[in-house]
Amino acid sequence: MPKKVRDLIKILEKAGFVDRGGKGDHRNFVHPNGIKPITVSGKEGDDAKHYQEKAVRLAIEEAKNE
């Protein structure tokens, strides 16, 4: 069962990413380490797409390695 967009947001914030805002239902997150920004789109109650979950997982792994 896919995660919800709100779950991805919570995971990113717990990992230290900061929401820099965005247009519409897009949110741009950046990490203080200067990691490439990640964009999460969709309303908070929507199911996250598989590629979004993968992008969040990879961004968090990259942030840990910095």
Residue 33: pLDDT band with limits 50, 70, 90:
confident
Residue 10: pLDDT band with limits 50, 70, 90:
very high
Percent of the chain residues topping a pLDDT of 90 = 85
pLDDT at 65: 85
Domains in the chain, start-ordered, CATH in brackets?
5-65 (3.30.920.30)
In this structure, the number of other CB atoms found within 10 A of the CB of residue 25 comes to: 12
pLDDT at 34: 85
pLDDT at 22: 93
Does the pTM surpass 0.85? The reply is yes
Task: Determine the Cα–Cα distance for residues 25 and 32; give it in Å rounded to an integer.
Answer: 23
Cα–Cα distances (Å) from 36 to 18, 20, 29, 46, 56, in that order, read 12, 13, 9, 24, 12
Torsion of CA 8, 32, 18, 42, to 10 degrees: -50
pLDDT at 18: 96
Cα dihedral across residues 17, 12, 35, 63: positive or negative: positive
